[in-house]
Structure 1
Amino acid sequence: MNGTTRFTPMRHSGPLRPLALLIAAFDVAVGWALVAELVVMVSIVSIQVVLRYLFNSSIDWADELARLCFVWSIFTAIPLGLKGGAHIGIEMLVVRFPAHLRSVTARLIALLGAAMLLLVAKESAVMAWEQWDELMASMPASAAWFIVPLGVCGLHGALHLIWQALIGAQHVDPELQSELA
């Protein structure tokens, strides 16, 4: 089984099929971006450590690039956790509800969460736009690149929560579910 197996489209036909394919495409893109972010972060930090301690030298922009990759990796991974329900939930009250009421509550909470994430995406886009002309301290790139992943996370996470609200269940990968159990 290869690493991309987890990012297969959700099984759905009919009018929700385009949404399922959009979410799956987003998952694949984010999954590969996450791998690239982690590779760059680990590589640049490793090179920086070798340069500092063996050659008494350093790369000026290494810390800022590693920090940027860290921020991106955190926020791009969050929707993948939402996808399978790997996020934290407090169910003290809800588990006492009848099954039908639990389902309705879960859908409403998913819609509320999606609305909040869309607000995060919108506000982060506004902030990034307003800060686009500000440069990072050690790299000739916009400081807004630290805000952009919030928008990506908000939009991607909202898609997963909208899916959960429409379908009534999370898209749980059986392999991932067995690892979490």
Structure 2
Amino acid sequence: MSRSPSHPPRTPLARARRYYFLTLKYIVVLGMLTITALIFANVVLRYGFNSSLFFTEEVSRLMFVWLVFMGALLVLHERAHIHVDMLTSRLPFGWQKALRLLSHLIMLGITLLLLTGSWSQMLINRGVGAPATGIPMTLFYGAGVTFSILSALVILHDLIEYARQPAPAASLHAGQDISAH
């Protein structure tokens, strides 16, 4: 279930969270447009004028890495990742809730692994610059660190939200998904 924009956030923290993710969407779109413009300009310069911009490949690659991670964060926030619920949707509410909580705990564990791996790579590549531009390579691995921290916050928020979710008044029967409530 994705978060519905038709229900405005009630608390200041929820409003701040909403505006943060809205701003992040605009940044991702701006990044995609920038990558497209850089690559297009480089193609035109290369084939039209036998010249090129030396930095486009490295800057585009760095922006792409950040766009992938920030896009994944947006999709995580909107609960829009692909999921298969053939089994879980047929289970009673209690089992659905338990499996959802377990899946979020597993996601937190994997996020911790990504954080430690990205952090290690940042430390290993400290002081190393990209060949053409000299952009610090820590910026590449910083995307993984940033994503890990922010996604852990999103997962923790959802975990707490699911844990607090009471059983519906009319107990869910098998075949009703808790994400619809």
TM range (shorter): 0.7 to 0.9
Instruction: Indicate conservation of the 8 Å contact 1:27/1:80, yes or no.
Output: yes
Gaps of 5+ in 2: 164-181
Tell me how far 1:56 sits from its aligned partner: 1.0
Counterparts in 2 of 1:168 and 1:103: CA distance versus 1, 3 Å = same
Task: Say whether 1:133 aligns with 2:131.
Answer: no
Among candidates 56, 61, 69, match of residue 62 of structure 1? 56
What is aligned with 1:11? 9
Instruction: Please give the alpha-carbon distance, in whole angstroms, between the structure 2 residues aligned to 1:99 and 1:30.
Output: 34
Counterpart CA distance in 2 for 1:139 and 1:24 is 35
Deviation of 1:25 (Å): 5.6
Select the structure that is richer in helix: 1
- In the other structure, the counterpart of 1:176 is none
Contact 1:10–1:24 (CA<8 Å) still a contact in 2?
no
- Seq. identity, %: 23
Counterpart-to-counterpart distance in 1, 2:76 and 2:136: 29
| Alpha-carbon shift at residue 112 of structure 1 (Å) | 2.0
Q: Deviations over 1:47-76 (max 9, x none)?
A: 101101111111112111111111111111
Alpha carbons 1:108, 1:165 under 8 Å: kept: no
Q: CA deviation at 1:102?
A: 0.4
Structure 1 position 122, deviation (Å): 3.2
Amino acid at match of 2:114: V
| Deviation for aligned residue 1:117 | 1.1
SS in 2 for 1:168: helix
Partner in structure 1 of residue 93 of structure 2: 99
Give 2:162's match in structure 1, choosing from 165, 168, 172.
168
Identify if the C-alpha distance between structure 1 residues 115 and 144 changes in structure 2 by more than 3 Å, giving closer, same or farther.
same
Tell me the secondary structure at the aligned position of residue 53 of structure 2: coil
Aligned counterpart for 1:115 among listed residues 104, 109, 112:
109
- Partner amino acid, structure 2, of 1:138: A
Number of residue pairs the alignment of both structures matches: 160
Partner of 1:143: 137
Question: Residues of 2 paired with 1:148 and 1:30: CA distance?
Answer: 17
In the alignment, does 2:42 pair up with 1:48?
yes
Q: Which runs of 4+ in 1 moved over 6 A?
A: none
Unaligned runs of 5+ in 1: 1-5, 170-181
